[in-house]
Homo-oligomer: A and B are copies of this chain.
């Protein structure tokens, strides 16, 4: 099987919830869809641009920031990865000339990371391919189903964001 490598564990994960009631099965299915799509995007980024998903996400965050610049610590928070990983990613991307480090104008202990001109052009090419891949990957759903899904996920997202954050139960 061509896709055995990745699909099996995820498949098992959902199958494990087969006897479970609907909400748990729905969650496992949603989780496995996202995991499968992310893995496929990761494979394509690697094949076409020789870049990891982590680096792509890093560049995407910078691209969307004002002046395409962020502090190291904001990048860590947004990407939800630890400081050590951010330092390593920054080192590698700087070596490839995709990002630049600058001194922070008002906080000497803080460093700014900026997308370089080369980084911007590289990211724009990748973002275009990424959008096309997503369109292709989601094309198994017709427009009506995509709209339904969009609406239901919107309801879900709103209700998750409104739910009280439980510290204890």
Residues on A facing B (Cβ under 8 Å): 2-3, 7, 9, 12, 16, 20-27, 29-34, 36-38, 40, 43-44, 47-48, 60, 64, 77-78, 80, 129-131, 133-141, 143, 145-150, 152-169
Contact = CB atoms under 8 A, between A and B. Distances in A.
Contacts of A20: 131
B150 A22 contact: yes
B26 A138 contact: yes
Contacts of A154: 29
Given A64-B12, A161-B7, A156 B131 contact: no
Given A22-B147, A40-B165, A64-B12, A153 B48 contact: no
Each complex incorporates copies of this chain amounting to 2
A150 B21 CA distance: 12
